[in-house]
Structure 1
Amino acid sequence: MAEEQQHQKETTQGEMKAVGVNCFASDEEIIAQQDKIQHDIATMTPLVSDRQALSVLQTEYAAEDTIYQLKIKDLQKKYSYIRKTRPDGNCFYRAFGFSHLESLLEDTKELQRFKAVAAKSKQDLVTQGFTEFTIEDFHNTLMDLLELCEKQPGLSELVDSFCDQGVSDYVVVYLRLLTSGYLQKEQGFFQHFIEGGRSVKEFCQQEVEPMSKESDHIHIIALAQALNVSILVEYMDRGEGGTVNHHVFPEGSEPRVFLLYRPGHYDILYK
C-alpha cells in the first residue's frame, strides 16, 4: 500500500512538473507573440507619419460600419488632413510634441515664449525634487529641437527628428515629467480625479512617468496648463449620433494643437 502511495505521489509530481513546463512554454509563446506584434507595429508604423488626406480614415473601417463612417464625414467638415503616430502608448505626448513644434515653425512669438517656459521648466522640476542629473538629457533634447525650430528648417527635418527613436522618446519622457510635475504641484486639485485610493505621487509614478502608459483627461489637462498650450481633442468613439464631440484643454482657451482620439490612440489633425 505504501509503495502504491509513493508511486502515485511520484506520478502526480511528474504530471505537475510536466504541466508546469507546458505552462512555462505557453507563457513564452505568448510573450514571443506580443514581442512580434510590437515589432510589426514598429516596422510598419513610423513614430510620426507624413501628413495624409483625412479621407484615409474611411479605408480603415468597413463601408458598412455606419457609426464610424458617419463620424469621419463629420470630421471632414472641420479638418482636411491627419498625421498619424505609432500606437505604442506614448502617442499623446508624441502627437502633442510634434504638433506644437510644427506650429512654432511659423510663429516666432510663440516660439520664444515656449522656449522660455521650456528653459525654466528644468529648474522648476529640480525645485520640486526631481534629480537634475536624471532629467538633464531629456530637457536638453527638447531645447535642441527648439533651437532647430529657430533656424526655420524644412518640415522634413522636424519629421526626421521625431522619427528618430532616441530623440523622439527623450521628448516624450520630458513631457511625461512635466505632466507629473504639474500634477504633483497642484495635487490638492487633481487628487479628486484619481481613483483607487492612490496619492497623486503614486498615480504619477505608476501612470504618468513610465513609458508606454496611455493618457487620459487628467494628463492632458496637466500638460496643457504646465506649458500654457491649449489642446483640442476630437473624440471619435462608438457613441450614437453620427457626430464627433470635442473638448478643449483648458476649457475656454484658443486651441493651438488639434488631436484625434480613437479609443486608446491619438493622432494629429489639420484644418
Structure 2
Amino acid sequence: MEVPKVTRHIDSKTAFDNLSMEQQWALAEEIEMQQRQQAQQRKCLWITFKGGMSNMFLDWIGRQMHNFNSDSTVIIPHVNHQTIPMTGIIEHYNLMETDAGRGVIFHSNVLNLRRAYSEFRPVHGDGDCFYRSFMFSYLEQVLDRQDTHEEHRLLAAVEGVARHHAHLEWNSEFSLRHKAFKTLIKKVMRWKRHNRWKNVLTTDSYSKQKLLKFFSGCGRPDNIFAFLRLVAAIWIYSHSEEFEPLIPELDEYDTLREWCSQEVIRHKVFTDHVQMTALVTALGVPLRVEYLLQVGDGQDLYDRQEDSQDYTPTSTCWSSHRRQLPHVHVVPRVTVLYTNAHYDIIYPHRRDGPPVPSIDERCCQQTALVQRPTTESSGQQIAQRDSCSGTGESSSQHIAQVEISTDENSDQHAELKLTSTDAHEYDDHC
C-alpha cells in the first residue's frame, strides 16, 4: 500500500522573519559579551591604576614621614637650602652630647676645621648622602663658571665609562641612568645660559635655585645616584687588580662582581672609601674627606689635576675631532665632612676673603698681648729704681731681679690667659 505524501506549505515570509530574529539575537548576545569584556577590562585597569596610585601615595607618605622631624613641624629637605657657619657646628651635630669624654678631641677638630672652612651644608642621610653631597657640591661649583668646559669634560669622562660597560656586557640599567645623567648636565648648561641672559651673578641666582629644586624633588635625583653607583662599580670591576686588595670583606663573596652588585650598586647602601675613590677617579674630580669625630687630618682620595688637561675623547655630545681643554682649566674640588656614617658638604674659605689665623698664630698673638703690658710696667720700675739708686752696680742688680720676676710672672700669666681663652672660645662654639 502506498503511503500518500504529505505536502506542507512553507510560508517564506515567516521563515525569513524567523531567520532575521535569530540573527538579531545572536548579534545582541555578541554585543552584550563585548560590553561585558570591556567593562571587565576597564575594571582591571582601574584596579591597576588605583593600586599604583595607592602605592605611590603611600611611598610619598613614607618618605615625608621619614624626612619629618618629630621635634618640630619642619620637613627636613634633602639638601639644606641655607649653609650654616662653622661657629654652629658643635650645636648642629650635638657634639657635647655625643661623648663627653672626648670633648678635647672635638674641640681640636672644630678649631682646625674652623681655620680652613667657613661654612657647611647639611644633606639628608638615607644611604645616598655621599652621592648627594658630592654631586650637589660639584655642580654648585660648575654653575659658578661662565664657560662649559667642565661639563663637556665630564660628559667625555662618562663616555669612557660607558665603553668599559660595553666591554663588560653587564645586564644593567646603565643606558637609562646614563641618559638621565646627561640630561641633568645639559640642564645645568641651560641654567647657566639663562643666568647670562638675565645678567644674574648673585649667589641666589636662577641656576642655584634650579639646582636646589632638583635635588629636593622626591625621586628625581635617584637616577643620578644610581648612575654614580654604576660608574663606581664599573670602574672597580675594570680595575680589579687595583681595588681587590682594598676590599677586606671580598672573601665573603664569590666574585668581585657579586660584591659590586651588593655593596656598590644596591640602592641606599652606605658608601666607603673604596667606592668613593673609584667614582672620583673615573670622573676625574678631586675629592677631600674631612673628619669631625676622628683624630687626624683629612684625606685626599683623588687630587690629580693633570688628568683634566688631557684631550676630550670623542663622544656623542662632541664633534668627531679631539678637543683640548684650556691649560688654565681646573676641575672643581669637592670636600665633604664625614660625621658618624654620614657625609655633609663643607666649604673652604674663599681665596679673596681675609685669612683666618692658625691656632699657633693665635697663641703667639695672645702671648704677645699678655707680655706687652708686663714689659712696659717692668721698664717703668727699672727707670724709677735707676733714678733713686746712686750706684750703677745696684741698678744692674735690680734690673736682673726685675727681669727674672717679670719672665716668671709673664709665663704664668700667659698660660692662664691661653687656657681661659680656649675655654671661652669653646663655649662660644657651643
- Aligned mates of 2:163, 2:213 — CA distance in 1: 29
Computing the radius of gyration from Cα coordinates, the structure with the larger value is 2
- Aligned mates of 1:61, 1:42 — CA distance in 2: 19
The alignment yields a C-alpha RMSD, in angstroms, of: 2.4
- Aligned mates of 1:149, 1:143 — CA distance in 2: 10
Structure 2 gaps of 5+ residues are 1-60, 69-74, 193-205, 306-330, 349-430
Contact 1:190/1:200 (<8 A) preserved = no
Contact 1:41/1:86 (<8 A) preserved = no
Partner of 1:267: 344
Deviations 1:170-221 (A, max 9, x none): 1110000000000000011111112231332122111100111111111111
- Aligned mates of 1:57, 1:101 — CA distance in 2: 24
**Residues 37 and 144 of structure 1, relative CA distance in 2, 3 Å threshold:** closer
**Residues 136 and 166 of structure 1, relative CA distance in 2, 3 Å threshold:** farther
Contact 2:161/2:234 (<8 A) preserved = no
Return the offset for 1:136. 2.6
* SS of equivalent residue, structure 2 residue 345: strand
Partner of 2:213: 160
Contact 2:78/2:123 (<8 A) preserved = yes
- Aligned mates of 1:181, 1:249 — CA distance in 2: 18
* SS of equivalent residue, structure 1 residue 81: strand
**Residues 220 and 180 of structure 1, relative CA distance in 2, 3 Å threshold:** same
TM-score by length of 2: 0.50
Structure in which a larger fraction of residues adopt strand:
1
Contact 2:138/2:332 (<8 A) preserved = no
Partner of 1:140: 179
Return the offset for 1:69. 3.6
Contact 1:119/1:143 (<8 A) preserved = no
Matches within 5 A, 1:160-199: 160-196=213-249, 197=251, 198=253, 199=255
TM-score by length of 1: 0.77
- Aligned mates of 1:252, 1:140 — CA distance in 2: 28
Any runs of at least 4 consecutive aligned residues in structure 1 with deviations exceeding 3 A, and if so which?
36-41, 62-66, 119-124, 251-255
Deviates more, 1:64-73 or 1:91-100: 64-73
**Residues 209 and 263 of structure 1, relative CA distance in 2, 3 Å threshold:** same
Amino acid at match of 1:206: Q
- Aligned mates of 1:41, 1:260 — CA distance in 2: 23
> Number of paired residues?
231
Contact 1:177/1:209 (<8 A) preserved = yes
- Aligned mates of 2:136, 2:154 — CA distance in 1: 14
Contact 2:188/2:207 (<8 A) preserved = no
- Larger RCO (alpha carbons 8 Å, 6+ apart): 1
Amino acid at match of 1:264: A
Return the offset for 1:231. 0.3
- Aligned mates of 2:127, 2:168 — CA distance in 1: 26
Matches within 5 A, 1:68-147: 68-107=106-145, 108-131=148-171, 134-147=173-186
Contact 1:194/1:200 (<8 A) preserved = no
Q: Percent identity?
A: 26
Matches within 5 A, 1:36-55: 40-43=65-68, 44-50=75-81, 51-55=83-87
Contact 2:157/2:282 (<8 A) preserved = no
Return the offset for 1:255. 6.7
